[in-house]
Amino acid sequence: MATEARRDLLEEGEEDYRQWQAGLVDTPEKRALYDQIAARSDLWLDLVEARRAAGLTQRQLPKRLGVSQAQVARIEKRGYDACTLNTLRRYVKALGETFDLRVTIENTAKERASAA
């Protein structure tokens, strides 16, 4: 009997979570904001993975960049979004790769209507 009650609570909790998760992106505005935050949040991970793929440590990269190890750690910190385009360009160049930047602009229907 206690096992059945526990299972019901787990199922209810899982369903609550699924509903909450779906609510994060249930409108175009929420989806756009979610995508924007996700893209910004993933930059740090992309940089760390690129550095590791280049075979460099956080101690080796600063020598190539001409900055401190603390600055490289800050650039690679989750949630850090004060990185300039020039810093990103230098970071990628220090990895030995070419710099490639793609910008995607998506306007919501509401933004398009207010711009008209």
Domains and CATH numbers, the chain: 28-115 (1.10.260.40)
Q: Which of 1-5, 30-34, 102-106 has the lowest mean pLDDT?
A: 1-5
pTM of the entire structure?
0.55
CA 110 from chain centre, in angstroms, equals: 25
pLDDT at 112 over 60: no
Greater model confidence, 92 or 113: 92
* pLDDT recorded at residue 67: 92
Under a CB-based contact definition with an 8 Å cutoff, are residues 29 and 110 in contact? yes
pLDDT tens track for 41-63: 678 888 898 889 888 999 999 99
Backbone angle region of 66, left / alpha / beta, with phi > 0 → left and psi within -120 to 50 → alpha = left
Which token pair is 71?
């600055």
E-strand stretches of the chain: none
